[in-house]
Structure 1
């Protein structure tokens, strides 16, 4: 059973989202106001409970030779939508799938490629799975940031913003 997160857990999550590779448990401990051993135990619990699902590299696909990032808004039958996610992720070029819970378009598939000829087969395979591709959006850039609600108070500015 997942325990409720507290300020220490949230500081850990914030630091790991910011830079998991270059942030030590002692760095996080300083940020969270606790010990390094507490941070290590908390990380293990957060991993065990499925709060931390894994660690991954933030790849700049454009810099790595795959300049096209396409968002494909799809419609699947509601009972099948969750079951289709592993099959969609298995399609060459697909890097993420998000289940959407409002509107007719209920799956957002992100695919990357060098050219249109890399993306077109992805759309065809989605159609072959029985999905409707309702819209396609070409993405110019994609940036992320740690979730601000996890920021320790010491990271917030005077006005409470990160």
Structure 2
């Protein structure tokens, strides 16, 4: 699993082909190299080379599948806001990421409320179990919310040619 960092040591210079490629991959990571080549207007070899460079540079860190957990019986989505001791935050975040049914752990650069977690469960007891496991890690749970709807959107920065959208 890859983590985001506050700042990278080197910035990778994206050109129009890279931006188009990233925009398309956000839309559907299962596009074939041929599909991408046709959409971008280059050869499939160029696509392979670009993807390899973007992976080596750490721009592309993996390929994931978006899963709707509702049909699997895991219809409860919870968001926890927690506080960890600053000295233990990274270690506790790593441990929290191993708890079954925890989907996401985010470390924040704050003193209080410095960890956010998303988890799924089939019933209230699942969420209680997760909360107890967070407590076992000496995390103070500051807030617990049931998520009604979550929308994941592609970043239109790439489509806009790397410029903020003025609309």
Same fold (TM over 0.5): yes
Matched-pair contact (CA < 8 Å) for 1:88–1:126 = yes
The 1-side partners of 2:50 and 2:87 are apart by: 36
Q: Which residue pairs with 2:20 in the alignment?
A: 11
Q: Matched residue pairs, number? A: 155
The 2-side partners of 1:9 and 1:123 are apart by: 42
Structure 1 gaps, min length 5: 154-158
> Alignment RMSD, CA only?
2.1
The verdict on how the C-alpha distance between 1:51 and 1:18 changes in structure 2, with shifts beyond 3 A counting, is same
Structure 1 residues 48-90: Cα deviation after superposition (integer angstroms, max 9, x where no partner): 2222121111011112210000000011122322222221111
Relative to the length of structure 2, the TM-score reads 0.82
- Pick the structure with more helix per residue: 1
Q: Which residue pairs with 1:105 in the alignment?
A: 113
Relative to the length of structure 1, the TM-score reads 0.85
29-38 vs 88-97, which deviates more?
29-38
Matched-pair contact (CA < 8 Å) for 2:74–2:122 = yes
Q: Which residue pairs with 2:98 in the alignment?
A: 90
The 2-side partners of 1:55 and 1:132 are apart by: 33
Structure 2 gaps, min length 5: 1-9
Q: Which residue pairs with 1:131 in the alignment?
A: 139
3-state SS of 1:60 partner: coil
Shift of residue 152, structure 1, vs aligned partner? 5.6
The 2-side partners of 1:25 and 1:39 are apart by: 6
3-state SS of 1:70 partner: strand
Shift of residue 160, structure 1, vs aligned partner? 6.7
Q: Which residue pairs with 1:145 in the alignment?
A: 153
Matched-pair contact (CA < 8 Å) for 2:37–2:44 = yes
3-state SS of 1:72 partner: strand
3-state SS of 1:148 partner: coil
Matched, 1:37 2:45: yes
Matched-pair contact (CA < 8 Å) for 1:68–1:114 = yes
Matched-pair contact (CA < 8 Å) for 1:2–1:49 = no
Matched, 1:122 2:139: no
